[in-house]
Structure 1
Amino acid sequence: MQIALAPMEGLVDNILRDVLTRVGGIDWCVTEFIRVTERLLTASHFHKLAPELLTESRTAAQVPMRVQLLGSDPQCLAENAAFACELGAPVIDLNFGCPAKTVNRSRGGAVLLKEPELLNRILVEVRRAVPAHIPVTAKMRLGYDSPDGAMDCARALADGGAGLIVVHARTKTDGYKPPAHWEWVARVQQVVRVPVFANGEIWSVEDWRRCREISGAEHFMLGRGLVSRPDLARQIVAASSGEDIVEMTWVELQPLLREFWRQARNKLAPRYAPGRLKQWVAMLTRNYPEAKVLFDQLRRETDCEQIDALLVQELLSV
Protein backbone atom coordinates (compact mmCIF):
# COMPACT_ATOMS: atom_id res chain seq x y z
CA MET A 1 0.00 0.00 0.00
CA GLN A 2 1.13 3.52 -0.81
CA ILE A 3 -0.36 6.71 0.62
CA ALA A 4 0.17 10.02 -1.16
CA LEU A 5 -0.46 13.59 -0.02
CA ALA A 6 -2.72 15.24 -2.60
CA PRO A 7 -1.80 18.43 -4.47
CA MET A 8 -4.16 21.26 -3.52
CA GLU A 9 -3.68 24.73 -4.95
CA GLY A 10 -3.46 27.48 -2.36
CA LEU A 11 -3.37 24.99 0.50
CA VAL A 12 -0.69 22.31 0.28
CA ASP A 13 2.28 24.49 -0.54
CA ASN A 14 5.88 23.62 0.28
CA ILE A 15 5.41 24.73 3.89
CA LEU A 16 2.49 22.42 4.59
CA ARG A 17 4.12 19.61 2.60
CA ASP A 18 7.14 19.92 4.86
CA VAL A 19 5.12 19.94 8.09
CA LEU A 20 2.70 17.15 7.19
CA THR A 21 5.36 14.78 5.88
CA ARG A 22 7.16 15.01 9.22
CA VAL A 23 4.28 13.16 10.89
CA GLY A 24 4.82 9.90 9.02
CA GLY A 25 2.80 7.53 6.86
CA ILE A 26 3.10 9.52 3.62
CA ASP A 27 5.00 7.81 0.82
CA TRP A 28 5.10 10.75 -1.59
CA CYS A 29 3.63 14.18 -2.17
CA VAL A 30 2.85 16.40 -5.18
CA THR A 31 3.32 20.10 -5.83
CA GLU A 32 0.49 22.54 -6.40
CA PHE A 33 -0.11 22.58 -10.14
CA ILE A 34 2.33 24.56 -12.23
CA ARG A 35 0.34 26.18 -15.03
CA VAL A 36 1.79 25.77 -18.51
CA THR A 37 0.49 27.91 -21.37
CA GLU A 38 2.48 28.80 -24.47
CA ARG A 39 6.05 29.18 -23.25
CA LEU A 40 8.89 27.41 -21.53
CA LEU A 41 8.87 28.39 -17.89
CA THR A 42 12.00 29.57 -16.12
CA ALA A 43 13.84 27.66 -13.43
CA SER A 44 12.80 30.30 -10.89
CA HIS A 45 9.15 29.68 -11.72
CA PHE A 46 9.54 25.98 -10.96
CA HIS A 47 11.55 26.67 -7.82
CA LYS A 48 8.89 29.03 -6.50
CA LEU A 49 6.24 26.30 -6.37
CA ALA A 50 8.62 23.37 -5.96
CA PRO A 51 11.59 24.52 -3.85
CA GLU A 52 12.20 20.87 -3.00
CA LEU A 53 13.84 20.63 -6.44
CA LEU A 54 16.80 22.26 -4.73
CA THR A 55 16.95 19.50 -2.08
CA GLU A 56 16.88 16.42 -4.31
CA SER A 57 13.09 16.68 -4.65
CA ARG A 58 12.49 15.61 -1.07
CA THR A 59 10.93 17.30 1.91
CA ALA A 60 12.91 17.74 5.12
CA ALA A 61 11.51 14.37 6.25
CA GLN A 62 12.95 12.80 3.06
CA VAL A 63 9.53 12.19 1.51
CA PRO A 64 9.78 12.31 -2.32
CA MET A 65 8.02 15.14 -4.13
CA ARG A 66 6.54 14.97 -7.63
CA VAL A 67 6.06 17.95 -9.95
CA GLN A 68 2.54 18.50 -11.28
CA LEU A 69 1.86 20.38 -14.52
CA LEU A 70 -1.46 21.74 -15.78
CA GLY A 71 -2.26 22.79 -19.32
CA SER A 72 -3.74 21.69 -22.64
CA ASP A 73 -0.95 22.17 -25.21
CA PRO A 74 0.76 18.78 -25.68
CA GLN A 75 4.00 20.16 -27.08
CA CYS A 76 4.35 22.93 -24.52
CA LEU A 77 3.61 20.55 -21.67
CA ALA A 78 6.19 18.14 -23.07
CA GLU A 79 8.89 20.83 -23.24
CA ASN A 80 8.21 22.01 -19.70
CA ALA A 81 8.09 18.46 -18.40
CA ALA A 82 11.51 17.77 -19.92
CA PHE A 83 12.88 20.94 -18.33
CA ALA A 84 11.40 20.02 -14.94
CA CYS A 85 13.27 16.72 -15.19
CA GLU A 86 16.49 18.60 -15.91
CA LEU A 87 15.86 20.55 -12.70
CA GLY A 88 15.55 17.31 -10.78
CA ALA A 89 11.88 16.28 -10.89
CA PRO A 90 11.77 12.51 -10.21
CA VAL A 91 8.19 12.14 -11.51
CA ILE A 92 5.97 14.28 -13.74
CA ASP A 93 2.30 14.36 -12.81
CA LEU A 94 -0.39 15.82 -15.06
CA ASN A 95 -3.50 17.51 -13.70
CA PHE A 96 -6.85 16.61 -15.27
CA GLY A 97 -8.86 17.05 -12.11
CA CYS A 98 -8.86 20.70 -11.04
CA PRO A 99 -12.51 21.91 -10.89
CA ALA A 100 -11.78 25.65 -10.56
CA LYS A 101 -13.79 27.75 -13.03
CA THR A 102 -10.86 30.02 -13.87
CA VAL A 103 -8.69 27.00 -14.65
CA ASN A 104 -11.36 25.26 -16.72
CA ARG A 105 -12.08 28.43 -18.72
CA SER A 106 -8.42 28.38 -19.73
CA ARG A 107 -8.70 24.77 -20.91
CA GLY A 108 -6.97 23.29 -17.92
CA GLY A 109 -7.87 20.65 -15.37
CA ALA A 110 -11.16 18.74 -15.40
CA VAL A 111 -12.55 20.39 -18.53
CA LEU A 112 -10.13 18.29 -20.60
CA LEU A 113 -12.02 15.17 -19.55
CA LYS A 114 -14.44 16.11 -22.30
CA GLU A 115 -11.64 15.35 -24.79
CA PRO A 116 -10.10 11.90 -24.18
CA GLU A 117 -8.25 12.12 -27.51
CA LEU A 118 -6.46 15.24 -26.26
CA LEU A 119 -5.65 13.51 -22.97
CA ASN A 120 -3.97 10.76 -24.94
CA ARG A 121 -1.98 13.21 -27.10
CA ILE A 122 -0.76 15.03 -24.02
CA LEU A 123 0.41 11.83 -22.37
CA VAL A 124 2.09 10.60 -25.55
CA GLU A 125 4.01 13.86 -26.04
CA VAL A 126 5.04 14.21 -22.42
CA ARG A 127 6.07 10.56 -22.18
CA ARG A 128 8.17 10.96 -25.34
CA ALA A 129 9.90 14.07 -23.99
CA VAL A 130 10.64 12.79 -20.51
CA PRO A 131 13.61 10.44 -19.91
CA ALA A 132 12.51 6.81 -19.93
CA HIS A 133 13.47 6.21 -16.29
CA ILE A 134 11.24 9.05 -15.02
CA PRO A 135 7.57 8.07 -14.56
CA VAL A 136 4.71 10.14 -15.92
CA THR A 137 1.48 9.95 -13.92
CA ALA A 138 -1.96 11.56 -14.09
CA LYS A 139 -4.75 12.69 -11.79
CA MET A 140 -8.32 12.74 -13.08
CA ARG A 141 -11.88 13.13 -11.90
CA LEU A 142 -14.71 10.89 -13.06
CA GLY A 143 -15.68 13.41 -15.71
CA TYR A 144 -16.86 16.97 -16.20
CA ASP A 145 -20.58 16.65 -15.45
CA SER A 146 -21.06 12.89 -15.79
CA PRO A 147 -18.94 9.79 -15.11
CA ASP A 148 -20.09 8.20 -18.37
CA GLY A 149 -16.74 8.92 -20.06
CA ALA A 150 -14.51 7.92 -17.15
CA MET A 151 -13.44 4.64 -18.73
CA ASP A 152 -12.50 6.32 -22.02
CA CYS A 153 -10.46 8.95 -20.18
CA ALA A 154 -8.66 6.38 -18.06
CA ARG A 155 -7.81 4.27 -21.09
CA ALA A 156 -6.59 7.36 -22.94
CA LEU A 157 -4.23 8.21 -20.09
CA ALA A 158 -2.92 4.68 -19.61
CA ASP A 159 -2.51 4.05 -23.35
CA GLY A 160 -0.64 7.34 -23.63
CA GLY A 161 1.94 6.25 -21.09
CA ALA A 162 0.65 7.12 -17.62
CA GLY A 163 2.41 4.89 -15.10
CA LEU A 164 -0.34 5.32 -12.54
CA ILE A 165 -3.65 7.15 -12.34
CA VAL A 166 -5.16 8.88 -9.32
CA VAL A 167 -8.95 8.98 -9.50
CA HIS A 168 -10.75 11.67 -7.53
CA ALA A 169 -14.07 9.88 -7.33
CA ARG A 170 -16.29 12.84 -8.23
CA THR A 171 -17.03 14.85 -11.36
CA LYS A 172 -16.07 18.46 -11.85
CA THR A 173 -19.69 19.44 -11.29
CA ASP A 174 -19.72 17.53 -8.00
CA GLY A 175 -16.87 19.72 -6.79
CA TYR A 176 -16.10 18.66 -3.24
CA LYS A 177 -19.65 17.76 -2.23
CA PRO A 178 -20.02 14.34 -0.62
CA PRO A 179 -20.28 11.55 -1.38
CA ALA A 180 -17.28 10.34 -3.34
CA HIS A 181 -18.29 7.58 -5.74
CA TRP A 182 -15.62 5.03 -4.81
CA GLU A 183 -17.28 2.28 -6.84
CA TRP A 184 -16.08 4.06 -9.98
CA VAL A 185 -12.47 3.62 -8.89
CA ALA A 186 -13.02 -0.14 -9.14
CA ARG A 187 -14.48 0.27 -12.64
CA VAL A 188 -11.49 2.32 -13.75
CA GLN A 189 -9.08 -0.28 -12.40
CA GLN A 190 -10.85 -2.94 -14.49
CA VAL A 191 -10.03 -1.19 -17.77
CA VAL A 192 -6.38 -0.21 -17.19
CA ARG A 193 -3.32 -2.22 -16.24
CA VAL A 194 -1.58 0.52 -14.25
CA PRO A 195 -2.06 1.14 -10.51
CA VAL A 196 -5.10 3.26 -9.64
CA PHE A 197 -5.13 5.37 -6.47
CA ALA A 198 -8.46 6.18 -4.79
CA ASN A 199 -8.99 9.80 -3.75
CA GLY A 200 -11.86 11.70 -2.18
CA GLU A 201 -13.76 11.85 1.15
CA ILE A 202 -11.26 9.88 3.22
CA TRP A 203 -11.43 11.73 6.53
CA SER A 204 -10.79 8.87 8.96
CA VAL A 205 -9.58 5.30 9.27
CA GLU A 206 -13.20 4.20 9.05
CA ASP A 207 -13.58 6.07 5.73
CA TRP A 208 -10.39 4.43 4.47
CA ARG A 209 -11.71 0.98 5.33
CA ARG A 210 -14.99 1.65 3.48
CA CYS A 211 -13.14 3.14 0.52
CA ARG A 212 -10.86 0.12 0.33
CA GLU A 213 -13.83 -2.25 0.45
CA ILE A 214 -15.92 -0.41 -2.14
CA SER A 215 -13.15 0.63 -4.53
CA GLY A 216 -10.91 -2.41 -4.19
CA ALA A 217 -8.02 0.05 -4.28
CA GLU A 218 -4.64 -0.87 -2.84
CA HIS A 219 -3.30 2.70 -2.87
CA PHE A 220 -4.77 5.99 -1.68
CA MET A 221 -4.31 9.74 -2.02
CA LEU A 222 -5.37 11.88 0.94
CA GLY A 223 -6.23 15.57 0.66
CA ARG A 224 -8.37 17.62 3.02
CA GLY A 225 -8.72 14.63 5.34
CA LEU A 226 -4.98 14.61 5.96
CA VAL A 227 -4.73 18.39 6.31
CA SER A 228 -7.44 18.36 8.98
CA ARG A 229 -6.05 15.22 10.69
CA PRO A 230 -2.25 15.38 10.22
CA ASP A 231 -1.65 11.85 11.46
CA LEU A 232 -4.32 10.23 9.26
CA ALA A 233 -1.79 8.53 6.98
CA ARG A 234 0.08 7.21 10.03
CA GLN A 235 -3.18 5.91 11.50
CA ILE A 236 -4.05 4.13 8.25
CA VAL A 237 -0.63 2.48 8.10
CA ALA A 238 -1.11 1.23 11.65
CA ALA A 239 -4.60 -0.05 10.90
CA SER A 240 -3.45 -1.83 7.76
CA SER A 241 -0.84 -3.77 9.72
CA GLY A 242 -3.13 -4.57 12.65
CA GLU A 243 -1.36 -2.25 15.08
CA ASP A 244 -3.10 -0.12 17.69
CA ILE A 245 -4.07 3.33 16.46
CA VAL A 246 -2.68 6.12 18.62
CA GLU A 247 -4.17 9.49 17.63
CA MET A 248 -2.10 12.65 17.66
CA THR A 249 -3.12 14.94 20.52
CA TRP A 250 -3.44 18.71 20.40
CA VAL A 251 -0.31 18.93 22.57
CA GLU A 252 1.63 16.86 20.02
CA LEU A 253 0.35 19.07 17.22
CA GLN A 254 1.71 22.27 18.79
CA PRO A 255 5.29 21.94 17.44
CA LEU A 256 3.89 21.47 13.93
CA LEU A 257 1.82 24.64 14.22
CA ARG A 258 4.81 26.56 15.50
CA GLU A 259 7.01 25.26 12.66
CA PHE A 260 4.34 26.06 10.08
CA TRP A 261 4.06 29.61 11.40
CA ARG A 262 7.84 30.05 11.53
CA GLN A 263 8.17 29.11 7.88
CA ALA A 264 5.15 31.18 6.86
CA ARG A 265 6.69 34.26 8.49
CA ASN A 266 10.03 33.62 6.80
CA LYS A 267 8.71 32.82 3.32
CA LEU A 268 5.56 34.90 2.94
CA ALA A 269 4.85 38.62 3.06
CA PRO A 270 3.46 39.78 6.45
CA ARG A 271 0.04 40.47 4.93
CA TYR A 272 -0.26 36.87 3.65
CA ALA A 273 1.29 34.80 6.45
CA PRO A 274 -1.59 35.21 8.96
CA GLY A 275 -4.13 34.06 6.40
CA ARG A 276 -2.20 30.86 5.72
CA LEU A 277 -2.10 30.01 9.42
CA LYS A 278 -5.81 30.74 9.87
CA GLN A 279 -6.59 28.56 6.85
CA TRP A 280 -4.90 25.52 8.37
CA VAL A 281 -6.21 26.11 11.91
CA ALA A 282 -9.74 26.42 10.48
CA MET A 283 -9.37 23.00 8.88
CA LEU A 284 -8.02 21.52 12.12
CA THR A 285 -11.26 22.51 13.89
CA ARG A 286 -12.89 19.49 12.25
CA ASN A 287 -10.99 17.16 14.61
CA TYR A 288 -9.62 19.33 17.41
CA PRO A 289 -11.96 21.39 19.66
CA GLU A 290 -8.88 23.29 20.83
CA ALA A 291 -8.35 24.50 17.25
CA LYS A 292 -11.76 26.21 17.39
CA VAL A 293 -10.65 28.19 20.44
CA LEU A 294 -7.39 29.16 18.75
CA PHE A 295 -9.13 30.06 15.51
CA ASP A 296 -11.52 32.38 17.35
CA GLN A 297 -8.48 34.14 18.81
CA LEU A 298 -6.73 34.36 15.43
CA ARG A 299 -9.75 35.32 13.35
CA ARG A 300 -9.42 39.08 13.60
CA GLU A 301 -5.67 39.18 14.15
CA THR A 302 -3.44 40.44 11.33
CA ASP A 303 -0.31 41.47 13.22
CA CYS A 304 2.41 38.82 13.03
CA GLU A 305 3.91 39.68 16.40
CA GLN A 306 0.53 39.38 18.09
CA ILE A 307 0.11 35.97 16.47
CA ASP A 308 3.55 35.02 17.79
CA ALA A 309 2.31 35.86 21.28
CA LEU A 310 -0.94 33.92 20.81
CA LEU A 311 0.91 30.80 19.74
CA VAL A 312 3.35 31.05 22.63
CA GLN A 313 0.37 31.42 24.98
CA GLU A 314 -1.30 28.38 23.39
CA LEU A 315 1.89 26.34 23.76
CA LEU A 316 2.20 27.25 27.43
CA SER A 317 -1.45 26.52 28.17
CA VAL A 318 -1.44 22.89 27.03
Structure 2
Amino acid sequence: MADYFLISLSNKENLKLCIKHALAGFTNSINGLWTFFDIDVGDYVSFLYGARVRNLYRVTEKVAYKNAENLPPWPRITFRSKRTYYFPFRLFLRQEREFNEPMVRPEFSYVAENLLLRGGYRKTHFQADTVTFYNVSEMGTVFDGETEHLELNAETFEPTIVFKRENQRIPEKFYFKELILQSLVRRKIQNSILKDVLKIFGVDNAPDEFEVLGEKALPEGYVDLFIKLKHPTGSNKYLLVEVKTGKAQRKDLEQLRRYLREFTSETVGGLLIAKDFSKSTIGHSEILPVRYNFKNLDISAEYSYEELLKMLELEVIV
Protein backbone atom coordinates (compact mmCIF):
# COMPACT_ATOMS: atom_id res chain seq x y z
CA MET A 1 0.00 0.00 0.00
CA ALA A 2 1.17 3.55 -0.73
CA ASP A 3 2.33 5.81 2.10
CA TYR A 4 0.99 9.29 2.84
CA PHE A 5 3.16 12.29 3.78
CA LEU A 6 2.66 15.94 4.63
CA ILE A 7 5.40 18.12 3.14
CA SER A 8 6.20 21.07 5.37
CA LEU A 9 6.72 24.39 3.55
CA SER A 10 8.56 27.39 4.93
CA ASN A 11 6.68 30.28 3.33
CA LYS A 12 3.54 31.21 1.40
CA GLU A 13 5.34 31.88 -1.89
CA ASN A 14 6.81 28.37 -1.80
CA LEU A 15 3.31 26.98 -1.28
CA LYS A 16 1.98 28.91 -4.30
CA LEU A 17 4.76 27.59 -6.54
CA CYS A 18 4.24 24.00 -5.37
CA ILE A 19 0.50 24.16 -6.05
CA LYS A 20 0.88 25.98 -9.38
CA HIS A 21 3.32 23.44 -10.81
CA ALA A 22 2.23 20.32 -8.85
CA LEU A 23 5.85 20.05 -7.84
CA ALA A 24 7.78 19.61 -4.59
CA GLY A 25 11.44 20.53 -4.25
CA PHE A 26 14.01 19.73 -1.56
CA THR A 27 17.34 21.34 -0.80
CA ASN A 28 20.90 20.09 -1.26
CA SER A 29 21.04 19.07 2.42
CA ILE A 30 20.88 15.74 4.22
CA ASN A 31 17.25 16.52 5.16
CA GLY A 32 16.44 17.24 1.52
CA LEU A 33 18.03 13.98 0.41
CA TRP A 34 16.26 12.10 3.21
CA THR A 35 12.88 13.38 2.04
CA PHE A 36 13.71 12.55 -1.58
CA PHE A 37 14.59 8.97 -0.59
CA ASP A 38 11.77 8.54 1.93
CA ILE A 39 8.90 9.47 -0.42
CA ASP A 40 8.53 7.07 -3.33
CA VAL A 41 6.76 7.09 -6.69
CA GLY A 42 3.14 6.06 -6.03
CA ASP A 43 3.04 7.60 -2.56
CA TYR A 44 0.61 10.41 -1.72
CA VAL A 45 1.44 13.86 -0.36
CA SER A 46 -0.25 17.04 0.83
CA PHE A 47 1.32 20.43 1.49
CA LEU A 48 1.48 21.78 5.04
CA TYR A 49 1.80 25.51 5.70
CA GLY A 50 0.41 27.87 8.33
CA ALA A 51 -1.34 25.07 10.26
CA ARG A 52 -3.38 24.19 7.16
CA VAL A 53 -3.22 21.20 4.84
CA ARG A 54 -3.62 21.72 1.10
CA ASN A 55 -4.74 19.21 -1.53
CA LEU A 56 -3.89 15.56 -2.17
CA TYR A 57 -1.34 14.56 -4.80
CA ARG A 58 0.18 11.31 -6.03
CA VAL A 59 3.91 11.20 -6.76
CA THR A 60 4.43 10.32 -10.44
CA GLU A 61 8.17 10.89 -10.83
CA LYS A 62 11.33 11.65 -8.83
CA VAL A 63 14.18 13.57 -10.46
CA ALA A 64 17.50 14.98 -9.21
CA TYR A 65 18.94 17.81 -11.35
CA LYS A 66 22.58 18.77 -11.83
CA ASN A 67 23.55 22.44 -11.58
CA ALA A 68 20.17 23.23 -10.04
CA GLU A 69 21.28 26.54 -8.50
CA ASN A 70 19.40 28.56 -11.11
CA LEU A 71 16.59 26.18 -12.05
CA PRO A 72 13.04 27.49 -11.63
CA PRO A 73 10.76 27.82 -9.82
CA TRP A 74 12.68 28.30 -6.56
CA PRO A 75 15.50 30.81 -6.06
CA ARG A 76 18.61 30.01 -4.06
CA ILE A 77 18.48 30.66 -0.32
CA THR A 78 21.46 32.10 1.58
CA PHE A 79 21.37 32.17 5.38
CA ARG A 80 23.31 34.26 7.87
CA SER A 81 25.74 31.37 8.21
CA LYS A 82 26.67 32.11 4.54
CA ARG A 83 25.43 28.67 3.55
CA THR A 84 23.50 28.66 0.29
CA TYR A 85 20.86 26.07 -0.51
CA TYR A 86 19.07 25.28 -3.74
CA PHE A 87 16.61 22.60 -4.90
CA PRO A 88 18.11 19.72 -6.89
CA PHE A 89 15.66 17.09 -5.60
CA ARG A 90 12.18 17.24 -7.15
CA LEU A 91 8.94 15.28 -6.91
CA PHE A 92 6.52 15.58 -9.83
CA LEU A 93 2.91 15.25 -8.73
CA ARG A 94 -0.56 14.55 -10.06
CA GLN A 95 -3.34 16.27 -8.13
CA GLU A 96 -6.10 13.94 -6.94
CA ARG A 97 -8.21 16.08 -4.60
CA GLU A 98 -8.61 19.77 -3.83
CA PHE A 99 -9.04 21.03 -0.26
CA ASN A 100 -7.74 23.57 2.24
CA GLU A 101 -8.26 22.24 5.76
CA PRO A 102 -7.02 23.31 9.23
CA MET A 103 -4.71 21.02 11.19
CA VAL A 104 -7.10 21.23 14.15
CA ARG A 105 -9.46 18.78 12.45
CA PRO A 106 -9.46 15.48 14.38
CA GLU A 107 -8.63 13.64 11.15
CA PHE A 108 -5.13 15.16 11.31
CA SER A 109 -4.53 14.35 14.98
CA TYR A 110 -1.67 11.91 14.31
CA VAL A 111 0.40 14.54 12.48
CA ALA A 112 -0.79 17.43 14.65
CA GLU A 113 0.57 15.70 17.75
CA ASN A 114 3.96 15.41 16.07
CA LEU A 115 3.91 19.10 15.23
CA LEU A 116 2.88 20.14 18.73
CA LEU A 117 5.51 18.05 20.49
CA ARG A 118 8.23 19.19 18.10
CA GLY A 119 7.29 22.82 18.73
CA GLY A 120 6.86 23.73 15.07
CA TYR A 121 7.65 22.86 11.48
CA ARG A 122 11.40 22.26 11.71
CA LYS A 123 11.16 19.07 9.66
CA THR A 124 10.88 18.49 5.93
CA HIS A 125 8.06 15.95 6.00
CA PHE A 126 5.74 14.04 8.30
CA GLN A 127 4.46 10.57 7.56
CA ALA A 128 0.81 10.09 8.47
CA ASP A 129 -0.86 6.81 9.38
CA THR A 130 -3.37 4.78 7.34
CA VAL A 131 -6.40 6.21 9.16
CA THR A 132 -5.31 9.76 8.29
CA PHE A 133 -4.86 8.82 4.63
CA TYR A 134 -8.33 7.25 4.44
CA ASN A 135 -9.86 10.39 5.92
CA VAL A 136 -7.95 12.72 3.59
CA SER A 137 -9.07 10.65 0.59
CA GLU A 138 -12.63 11.85 1.26
CA MET A 139 -11.89 15.52 1.95
CA GLY A 140 -12.78 18.34 -0.42
CA THR A 141 -13.56 17.51 -4.03
CA VAL A 142 -12.02 15.43 -6.80
CA PHE A 143 -9.63 17.59 -8.83
CA ASP A 144 -10.64 17.79 -12.50
CA GLY A 145 -8.57 20.79 -13.55
CA GLU A 146 -5.29 20.99 -15.44
CA THR A 147 -1.84 21.62 -13.99
CA GLU A 148 0.81 23.85 -15.53
CA HIS A 149 3.71 21.40 -15.56
CA LEU A 150 7.17 22.93 -15.51
CA GLU A 151 9.44 21.83 -18.38
CA LEU A 152 13.07 21.66 -17.26
CA ASN A 153 15.75 21.09 -19.88
CA ALA A 154 18.49 20.12 -17.45
CA GLU A 155 20.86 17.23 -16.86
CA THR A 156 19.82 14.73 -14.22
CA PHE A 157 21.69 12.41 -11.86
CA GLU A 158 21.06 9.64 -9.36
CA PRO A 159 22.20 10.63 -5.85
CA THR A 160 24.45 8.10 -4.15
CA ILE A 161 25.67 7.30 -0.64
CA VAL A 162 29.36 7.01 0.27
CA PHE A 163 30.95 5.55 3.40
CA LYS A 164 34.11 7.66 3.47
CA ARG A 165 33.55 11.28 4.39
CA GLU A 166 36.26 12.46 1.99
CA ASN A 167 34.26 11.00 -0.92
CA GLN A 168 31.26 13.23 -0.27
CA ARG A 169 30.39 15.61 -3.13
CA ILE A 170 27.05 17.29 -2.37
CA PRO A 171 24.48 17.01 -3.91
CA GLU A 172 25.60 14.04 -6.05
CA LYS A 173 27.26 12.05 -3.23
CA PHE A 174 26.28 12.17 0.46
CA TYR A 175 28.05 10.60 3.41
CA PHE A 176 26.06 7.81 5.08
CA LYS A 177 24.09 9.13 8.07
CA GLU A 178 21.42 7.95 10.48
CA LEU A 179 18.53 9.54 8.56
CA ILE A 180 19.38 7.41 5.52
CA LEU A 181 19.57 4.25 7.63
CA GLN A 182 16.20 5.07 9.22
CA SER A 183 14.59 5.33 5.81
CA LEU A 184 16.15 2.06 4.64
CA VAL A 185 15.09 0.19 7.78
CA ARG A 186 11.54 1.55 7.50
CA ARG A 187 11.22 -0.02 4.06
CA LYS A 188 12.97 -3.29 4.98
CA ILE A 189 11.73 -4.29 8.41
CA GLN A 190 8.17 -5.39 7.65
CA ASN A 191 9.16 -8.02 5.08
CA SER A 192 12.26 -9.24 6.88
CA ILE A 193 12.31 -9.58 10.67
CA LEU A 194 8.90 -8.29 11.82
CA LYS A 195 7.33 -11.76 11.79
CA ASP A 196 10.07 -13.11 14.11
CA VAL A 197 9.91 -10.02 16.33
CA LEU A 198 6.16 -10.40 16.85
CA LYS A 199 6.60 -14.08 17.68
CA ILE A 200 9.29 -13.30 20.27
CA PHE A 201 7.03 -10.72 21.92
CA GLY A 202 4.06 -13.13 21.86
CA VAL A 203 1.92 -11.14 19.41
CA ASP A 204 -0.52 -13.17 17.30
CA ASN A 205 -1.11 -10.56 14.58
CA ALA A 206 0.45 -10.99 11.16
CA PRO A 207 3.12 -8.51 9.99
CA ASP A 208 0.86 -7.09 7.28
CA GLU A 209 -1.62 -5.96 9.95
CA PHE A 210 0.97 -3.40 11.07
CA GLU A 211 2.29 -0.22 9.48
CA VAL A 212 5.84 1.06 9.84
CA LEU A 213 5.90 4.85 10.21
CA GLY A 214 8.66 7.42 10.33
CA GLU A 215 9.70 9.54 13.30
CA LYS A 216 7.13 9.80 16.07
CA ALA A 217 7.36 12.75 18.47
CA LEU A 218 6.99 12.04 22.20
CA PRO A 219 7.16 14.28 25.29
CA GLU A 220 10.62 12.78 26.00
CA GLY A 221 11.91 13.34 22.45
CA TYR A 222 11.14 11.34 19.34
CA VAL A 223 11.50 7.72 18.36
CA ASP A 224 13.05 6.94 14.97
CA LEU A 225 10.41 4.46 13.76
CA PHE A 226 6.92 3.76 15.06
CA ILE A 227 5.16 0.47 14.32
CA LYS A 228 1.44 0.16 15.05
CA LEU A 229 -1.67 -1.69 13.95
CA LYS A 230 -3.25 -0.21 10.81
CA HIS A 231 -6.79 -0.83 12.07
CA PRO A 232 -6.85 -1.16 15.88
CA THR A 233 -10.00 -2.42 17.55
CA GLY A 234 -10.40 -1.55 21.21
CA SER A 235 -6.69 -1.04 21.76
CA ASN A 236 -3.53 -0.71 19.70
CA LYS A 237 -0.17 -2.49 19.73
CA TYR A 238 3.00 -0.43 19.46
CA LEU A 239 6.61 -1.26 18.67
CA LEU A 240 9.16 1.54 19.09
CA VAL A 241 12.39 1.44 17.09
CA GLU A 242 15.64 3.32 17.66
CA VAL A 243 18.26 3.25 14.89
CA LYS A 244 22.00 3.89 15.37
CA THR A 245 24.61 3.80 12.62
CA GLY A 246 27.40 2.76 14.99
CA LYS A 247 27.66 0.77 18.22
CA ALA A 248 24.65 0.98 20.55
CA GLN A 249 25.46 2.23 24.04
CA ARG A 250 23.78 2.05 27.44
CA LYS A 251 22.36 5.56 26.98
CA ASP A 252 20.57 4.43 23.80
CA LEU A 253 18.94 1.58 25.70
CA GLU A 254 17.82 3.90 28.50
CA GLN A 255 16.44 6.38 25.99
CA LEU A 256 14.31 3.68 24.36
CA ARG A 257 13.12 2.50 27.79
CA ARG A 258 11.86 6.00 28.59
CA TYR A 259 9.92 6.05 25.31
CA LEU A 260 8.37 2.65 26.03
CA ARG A 261 7.10 3.80 29.42
CA GLU A 262 5.05 6.54 27.73
CA PHE A 263 2.83 3.95 25.99
CA THR A 264 2.15 1.80 29.08
CA SER A 265 0.01 -1.30 28.45
CA GLU A 266 -0.30 -0.89 24.68
CA THR A 267 3.44 -1.23 24.15
CA VAL A 268 4.56 -4.58 22.74
CA GLY A 269 8.26 -3.82 23.07
CA GLY A 270 11.18 -1.98 21.52
CA LEU A 271 13.85 -2.64 18.91
CA LEU A 272 17.34 -1.19 19.14
CA ILE A 273 18.95 -1.41 15.71
CA ALA A 274 22.70 -0.81 15.43
CA LYS A 275 25.88 -2.00 13.75
CA ASP A 276 27.09 -3.53 17.01
CA PHE A 277 26.20 -3.63 20.71
CA SER A 278 27.91 -3.15 24.06
CA LYS A 279 27.26 -5.86 26.66
CA SER A 280 24.96 -3.56 28.64
CA THR A 281 22.53 -3.28 25.70
CA ILE A 282 21.82 -7.03 25.39
CA GLY A 283 19.62 -9.29 27.51
CA HIS A 284 16.64 -7.05 28.30
CA SER A 285 13.24 -8.68 27.80
CA GLU A 286 11.37 -5.56 26.68
CA ILE A 287 13.97 -4.51 24.06
CA LEU A 288 15.37 -6.66 21.26
CA PRO A 289 18.79 -5.83 19.80
CA VAL A 290 18.87 -6.00 16.00
CA ARG A 291 22.15 -5.92 14.09
CA TYR A 292 22.18 -4.32 10.65
CA ASN A 293 24.68 -5.04 7.89
CA PHE A 294 25.14 -4.23 4.20
CA LYS A 295 26.05 -7.46 2.40
CA ASN A 296 29.35 -7.26 0.49
CA LEU A 297 29.74 -3.56 1.23
CA ASP A 298 32.86 -1.87 -0.17
CA ILE A 299 33.39 1.27 1.92
CA SER A 300 35.37 2.88 -0.91
CA ALA A 301 32.46 2.55 -3.35
CA GLU A 302 29.26 4.58 -3.80
CA TYR A 303 25.76 3.14 -3.80
CA SER A 304 22.29 4.19 -4.84
CA TYR A 305 19.46 4.05 -2.32
CA GLU A 306 17.92 1.03 -4.07
CA GLU A 307 21.25 -0.82 -4.06
CA LEU A 308 21.64 -0.29 -0.31
CA LEU A 309 18.06 -1.41 0.27
CA LYS A 310 18.81 -4.73 -1.47
CA MET A 311 22.07 -5.11 0.46
CA LEU A 312 20.61 -4.32 3.89
CA GLU A 313 20.36 -7.29 6.25
CA LEU A 314 18.67 -7.23 9.69
CA GLU A 315 19.38 -9.89 12.33
CA VAL A 316 17.59 -10.22 15.67
CA ILE A 317 20.05 -11.09 18.43
CA VAL A 318 18.50 -13.58 20.86
Compute the TM-score of the two structures, normalised by the length of structure 2: 0.28
TM-score, normalised with respect to structure 1: 0.28
**Greater share of helix residues, 1 or 2?**
1
